[in-house]
């Protein structure tokens, strides 16, 4: 399975993911975790997924995203967080995502977004 490039775990009622959940799949370029019940994601969940380009976390129950969660996916170009319960986006939420082009935050409960938060994503072309 180490050559796996696409993993679809959508619609599985996943409530949590362990640290280093994907450490054995370092060749992943696309990961779909949509339509689950994820409430939070630890900073170590995506560690080592340096080839990941697309991450789908849409329609979960995420209320917040810890600073540094995406530091393990530096080549990410597509991040879908649509349909969660996100309330706040901090300055460090997207730290390290310098290659991010597409970000979907539609249908959340956003109350505040830190000033200059998108300076961390200089290539963002679609929000």
- Asked if 13 and 36 touch (Cβ cutoff 8 Å), the reply is yes
- Asked if 26 and 50 touch (Cβ cutoff 8 Å), the reply is yes
- Tens of pLDDT, residues 90-122: 989 999 899 999 999 999 999 999 988 888 899
* pLDDT at 28 exceeding the cut of 90: yes
Which domains are delineated in the chain? 1-127 (3.80.10.10)
> For residue 82, what pLDDT band results from cuts at 50, 70 and 90?
very high
DSSP line for 26-95: TT--EEE--SS------TTTTTT-TT--EEE--SS------TTGGGG-TT--EEE-TTS---EE-TTTTT
This prediction's pTM:
0.95
- Asked if 70 and 96 touch (Cβ cutoff 8 Å), the reply is yes
Q: Using CA atoms, how far apart are residues 101 and 13, in angstroms rounded to an integer?
A: 29
Please give the pLDDT value at position 2: 74
- Angle, CA 23 vertex, CA 22 and CA 29 arms, to 5°: 60
* pLDDT at 1 exceeding the cut of 60: no
Whole-number percent of the chain with pLDDT over 90:
80
- Asked if 94 and 65 touch (Cβ cutoff 8 Å), the reply is no
Average pLDDT of the residues in 15-37: 96
Please give the pLDDT value at position 127: 84
- Tens of pLDDT, residues 41-72: 989 999 999 999 999 999 999 998 988 899 99
């Amino acid at each position: 399975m180490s050559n796996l490039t696409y993993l679809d775990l959508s619609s599985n009622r996943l409530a949590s993911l362990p640290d280093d959940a994907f450490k054995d799949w370092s060749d992943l370029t696309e990961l779909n975790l949509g339509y689950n019940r994820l409430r939070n994601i630890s900073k170590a969940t995506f560690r080592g997924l340096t080839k990941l380009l697309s991450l789908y976390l849409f329609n979960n129950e995420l209320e917040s995203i810890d600073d540094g969660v995406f530091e393990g996916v530096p080549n990410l170009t597509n991040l879908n967080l649509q349909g969660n319960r996100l309330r706040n986006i901090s300055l460090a939420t997207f730290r390290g995502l310098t290659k991010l082009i597409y970000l979907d935050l539609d249908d959340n409960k956003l109350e505040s977004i830190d000033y200059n938060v998108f300076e961390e994503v200089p290539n963002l072309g679609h929000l």
